[in-house]
Structure 1
Amino acid sequence: MPVVEAAPPAAQVLRLLPRPEPAPEPAARILLSPPHLTGEELPGLATTLQSGWVAPAGPMPAAFEAALAEATGMPHVVALASGTAALHLGYRCLGLERGDEVWTATLTYVATIAPAVQMGARPRFLDVSAGSWTLDPDLLERELARAARAGRLPRAVVPVDLFGQSCDLDAIAALCDRWGIAVLCDSAEALGATRRGRPAGQGARMAAFSFNGNKIITAGGGGALASADAALIAEARGLAHQAKRPAPHYEHETTGYSYGLSSVLAAVGLAQLAALPQRVTARRAVFERYRSGLGDLPGITFMPEPAWSRGTRWLTAILLDPGLGAPSREAARQALAEAGIESRPVWKPMHLQPAFRAAPRAGGSVAADLFERGLCLPSGSALTILQQDRVIGLLRSLWRR
């Protein structure tokens, strides 16, 4: 009988097989606007935890509010759980009632108007200016004059500072003063921006800010409401802490909310706030590198910056025109996503949102066009030049195709 040789051990067979080349490690994902910590957050956190003050009370929220007052140029500030909470309290302190009208720019995030709608107000959306992407003062003037003739003026006008750029608040506030209408500025995206040398939000009756994880300054969450009116902020502070009245027991003349910012988050925000000027410089540098690396391509333009404005460039936003040889906004977004690069369309206008399909509006074509063609690129203040070159190279390849 033939001798059957035993099969060699598996390990020996594996050694004889050709070794495949190791697969290249995937490049790290590039995020749109991730948190950028300073390294100084830990000492503040340690001090806070050692002190025992972790609730929305004590020295850390007060210190954060004082620093915010200096940064915003508004002497009275209350730190809150979110930017949405700040807007909600702003509406409440302005006396918004069911059936009142609130006018705002249609090009914004839903948090601008959601609290007002939840309070029973009726939203009305106004178009933006192509020169700033923020509320168009000329359109606002025409609409206020028309509403005055009809005896249907809004309770409040809420302009929005967009992608780190201040609206033309001076013009907007002057118009609203003419008709005695309060201005609540949504400055959630614009801490550190200025217009005509004044900080974003300054000049409104109140201004709301956000410290969400993607903002230029983050507390890991949180927000603030600021004003030159001490009484308004005192009212907001009381409402943020369940509207408790001074008494040895719990006494309430009205109902409030649990909207206070914890000492732990305030400690993070305070450390972050010290780096605000550097963060603005870094984001503006990111914008300039994009403009240098992409600006020669046909069919691409960048969010404009009016002569009266100095934005933070919190997000770099571009417009793509396929009619001039550029890829579509969606083609560019999908190509970036496939390469592990996060981008996001410009805000979908509120008048195009299903939730507000029946809401009245004035204009809207400018905002709709910006949404159709606009894309926000990775803009983090810690974005490296190599990462940005990856984004630029990928986008340029779409033109070569």
Structure 2
Amino acid sequence: MSAKIWLSSPHMGGEEFNFVKEAFDTNWIAPLGPNVNGFEADLQAFTGSTHAAALSSGTAALHLALIMLGVGPGDEVICQSFTFSATANPIVYQGATPVFIDSEAETWNMCPIQLEKAIKERIANGKKPKAIIPVHLYGMPAQIERIMALANQYEIPVIEDAAEALGSSVNGKAAGTFGVMGVLSFNGNKIITTSGGGALISDNDELISQSRFLATQARDNAPHYQHSQIGYNYRMSNVCAGIGRGQMQVLNDRVNQRRKNYDTYVKELSSLPGVSFLPEPAGYKSNRWLSTILVDPNASNGVTREDIRLALEKENIECRPLWKPMHLQPVFEKYPSYVNNVSEELFNNGLCIPSGSNLSEGDLQKVISHIKALFN
């Protein structure tokens, strides 16, 4: 069998080892240290956010954001349905109710029309939502300016899930910096990685300071171990942050390469019957974390997304369907949802194809040729 072609694998730049070696040489192995501070500063400089907290995961960042907004049992939080479950799980951690919002077709993210409908109905029912969580899916920014306008109108704070969107922007403003807080992820398959990790970014110093306090077990300022609040073990280690510092040095290159992969797919596959891509709206920049295609079986001579997935799997090429919407997941089916069937159709017809910045030109062409072969 030929060598595996991965969907999105880690891509080291070379400098990561030097930062990690420095952590070992100076014995800074704890979840604090110069690399943590440096990585936070790098994130602030790149995103334009004035404060950042490096954490153990994007999920941890989202959980802390909800805690700091006072989300608790009985509350409702509006959440994009078309996403990975980690967006919704922390809502349930807090004993709150997720209210799922379907997507619009222009960015595949939270639909502002369904969002306003949900806000009005929840308020009319005596349950004003405590927060709104839109997602910038696959690196494509949501219609965040419209979402923020609604959030401001109804005075509901926004937590942006930008876990997949580091390097994406709308009119030059970085994804994750529109709301009161933004969440980033550095999992192994993301645009850059710290092996595992995440961050919370904000222009609110108090929120980020509080997130660091809670993330280090909420230890009070005392000579002994004293705790007045429930804390969490959510801080990033100095070793992992060293990997992140090295990765930040090549982030722009990683974004450019993934965008180049996407452009190649568009050039080579757009002419196939029933195959389409998601273009960037005016003023939008997507990091193209994952390249995705839609296959309309009514226009593709019967070829389906699943036909492509299975054919690539047979050739040891990793790919996967688009996210299954949260309102269709068994674990979340009991929660309220506002749907227009856009995300369900995307799930049924969409496919993520190999997108890594370390994808060789030969492997890229191999993926393209196997897809084309199905249409011949």
TM-score bin, normalised by smaller chain: over 0.9
Quote the residue 1:151 is aligned against: 126
Read off the aligned partner of 1:277 and give its amino acid letter: N
Alpha-carbon deviations, 1:239-288, whole Å to 9, x = none?
Answer: 00000011110111111011110000000001101111111110000001
For residue 216 of structure 2, the aligned residue among 231, 241, 248 is 241
Give the Cα separation in 2 of the matches to 1:158 and 1:63. Answer: 28
Quote the residue 1:372 is aligned against: 348
Quote the residue 1:391 is aligned against: 367
Give the Cα separation in 1 of the matches to 2:88 and 2:48. Answer: 25
Residues 94-243 of structure 1: matches in 2 within 5 Å? 94-243=69-218
Alpha-carbon deviations, 1:288-347, whole Å to 9, x = none?
Answer: 100111111000001232113100000001000111125111111111000000001000
Contact 1:186 1:208 (C-alpha < 8 Å) held by counterparts = yes
* 2:321 maps to 1:345: yes
Contact 1:88 1:115 (C-alpha < 8 Å) held by counterparts = yes
Read off the aligned partner of 2:233 and give its amino acid letter: S
For residue 301 of structure 1, the aligned residue among 239, 261, 276 is 276
Structure with greater Cα Rg: 1
Quote the residue 1:77 is aligned against: 52
* 2:308 maps to 1:332: yes
Residues 250-269 of structure 1: matches in 2 within 5 Å? 250-269=225-244
Contact 1:55 1:263 (C-alpha < 8 Å) held by counterparts = yes
Read off the aligned partner of 2:358 and give its amino acid letter: A
% identical aligned pairs: 44
Read off the aligned partner of 2:89 and give its amino acid letter: A
Quote the residue 1:62 is aligned against: 37
Give the Cα separation in 2 of the matches to 1:73 and 1:128. Answer: 28
Quote the residue 1:7 is aligned against: none
The CA deviation at 1:142 is 2.8
> Residue 52 of structure 2: SS of its match in structure 1?
strand
Contact 1:105 1:158 (C-alpha < 8 Å) held by counterparts = yes
Give the Cα separation in 2 of the matches to 1:178 and 1:251. Answer: 41
Give the Cα separation in 2 of the matches to 1:192 and 1:174. Answer: 23
Give the Cα separation in 2 of the matches to 1:143 and 1:100. Answer: 14
Alignment coverage as a number of residue pairs:
375
Quote the residue 1:27 is aligned against: 2
Read off the aligned partner of 2:345 and give its amino acid letter: D
* 2:15 maps to 1:40: yes
> Residue 57 of structure 1: SS of its match in structure 2?
coil
Read off the aligned partner of 2:357 and give its amino acid letter: S
Alpha-carbon deviations, 1:81-136, whole Å to 9, x = none?
Answer: 01111111111111101011011111000000101112111011111110110111
Read off the aligned partner of 1:308 and give its amino acid letter: G
Give the Cα separation in 1 of the matches to 2:240 and 2:115. Answer: 38
Contact 1:351 1:364 (C-alpha < 8 Å) held by counterparts = no
The CA deviation at 1:144 is 1.9
Alpha-carbon deviations, 1:25-72, whole Å to 9, x = none?
Answer: x32110000001001111111111101101111111000001011112
Q: TM-score, normalised by structure 1?
A: 0.92
Read off the aligned partner of 2:181 and give its amino acid letter: M
Give the Cα separation in 2 of the matches to 1:317 and 1:369. Answer: 14
Give the Cα separation in 1 of the matches to 2:163 and 2:218. Answer: 25
Contact 2:136 2:161 (C-alpha < 8 Å) held by counterparts = yes
The CA deviation at 1:165 is 1.3
Give the Cα separation in 1 of the matches to 2:222 and 2:267. Answer: 62
The CA deviation at 1:364 is 4.1
For residue 354 of structure 1, the aligned residue among 327, 330, 339 is 330
> Residue 166 of structure 1: SS of its match in structure 2?
coil
The CA deviation at 1:149 is 3.2
Alpha-carbon deviations, 1:179-228, whole Å to 9, x = none?
Answer: 11110111000000011110001120101100000000101110000111
Give the Cα separation in 1 of the matches to 2:182 and 2:323. Answer: 20
> Residue 308 of structure 2: SS of its match in structure 1?
helix
Structure 1 unaligned segments of length 5 or more: list them: 1-25
